[in-house]
Homo-oligomer: A and B are copies of this chain.
Amino acid sequence: MQLNELSTGPCGWFDQTDQNSGIVISSRVRLARNIKGYNFSSTLSSESSLELLNQLYCVIDEKTNHNLSFFRIDNMTELEVNFLVERNLITSVMAFSSMPRGVFLSDNELTSIMVNEEDHLRLQAFSPGFNLNACWKRIDRLDDLIESSVKYAFDSRLGYLTACPTNVGTGLRISVMLHLAGLKMTGELEKVKKSASAMKLALRGLWGEGSGAMGDMYQVSNELTLGISEQDCLNDFTENIIPQIVKYEMIAREELLRRPAILDDKIFRALAILKNARMISSAEAMSHLCRLRLGILLGRVTEVSLERVNGLFFFILPSHLQMSLGKQLTREERDYLRANLIRDILRGGE
């Protein structure tokens, strides 16, 4: 598996389905694990890090039947590292660290195992669309396979021990990526955010940290890892939390459809700018792509396919753009080439 091959293809975990009116983009389950007898990564010496990395490499490579590709992050260029962050295959913590570290990736990008991240191990399973159980089964099995060869740091009262107290217990983080364009446009998103917060859930932009979300793709994650079982947490997401948010989003979309001129104005301006800009930042492009995607899902735009737009969400990111062109570019060069790329792809459908 070569990284640059990924850069022009669609992302494995990003919505290829149309279930739930395209509101749920993808599902992710992540486990944080640490190995008994080693300090947490932040206080681990470089030598011990390397020793741990080698040990975990051998275990995981063997247990996964050599089916995963392994990449040493500390041997990569900055561009390659940022590319993996953009694809959500590694965390920014892992990108910015300086210790010996690496990541296992499955060819379909649905499995990623980070070694020597903030925790010694971060196991991630993705699935396009809404399918947390599939993610959980995959990650649980992987966890068992690894645990059969190493001893995890575990406390009988607390559960799995992790570098950050917010992960102690199950070490489980469930995330569902959602396209909440309707709630954003009707101004109802703030209410959903407040409810989420009251339920100990985090609602964050999928791209761009914190409030500086690019576009209107969001991820909802659990904040509790202590005092709740993995299965209860999964059930809560599957049966309660996500269906509820999806319902609100559908109501918001119905509301928008009642005033088609205002809706179409936003959608067709977005499409027009994407098809005509000669310079465009990733944040601006993302915002227009989100509106265009909504337009396609609501049947307002028919000249561009959903697949074409879904593909663009990744192509336009700074490191993706540079990886696909095989070189570092200035911001101005990127803005120019990004606009060209988007025009070519969207006009190709005419």
Contact = CB atoms under 8 A, between A and B. Distances in A.
Interface string A256-268: 0000011011001
Contact of A278 (B264, B275, B277, B280): B264
A279 B259 CA distance: 12
A44 to B, nearest CB: 49
Contacts of A336: 261
The bracket for how many chain A residues form the interface is 10 to 19
A131 interface: no
Nearest to A265: B278
Interface string A239-282: 00000000000000000000001101100110111011111100
A278 B268 CA distance: 8
Contact of A273 (B261, B262, B264, B269): B269
A339 interface: yes
A262 B339 CA distance: 11
Contact of A277 (B269, B277, B279): B269
A54 to B, nearest CB: 49
B273 A277 contact: no
B261 A271 contact: no
Contacts of A275: 272
Nearest to A343: B268
Nearest to A339: B265
A150 B173 CA distance: 91
A213 to B, nearest CB: 23
Nearest to A261: B278
Interface string A332-343: 000010010000
24 contacts: A261-B278, A261-B279, A261-B336, A262-B278, A262-B279, A264-B278, A265-B277, A265-B278, A265-B279, A265-B280, A265-B339, A268-B276, A268-B277, A268-B278, A269-B273, A269-B276, A269-B277, A271-B276, A272-B272, A272-B273, A272-B275, A272-B276, A272-B277, A273-B273
Given A272-B273, A272-B277, 10 more contacts: A261-B278, A262-B278, A264-B278, A265-B277, A265-B278, A265-B280, A269-B273, A269-B277, A272-B276, A273-B273
In the A-B complex, the 10 residue pairs with the smallest Cβ-Cβ separation, listed nearest first, are: A265-B278, A272-B272, A272-B276, A268-B276, A265-B279, A264-B278, A261-B278, A261-B336, A265-B277, A269-B277
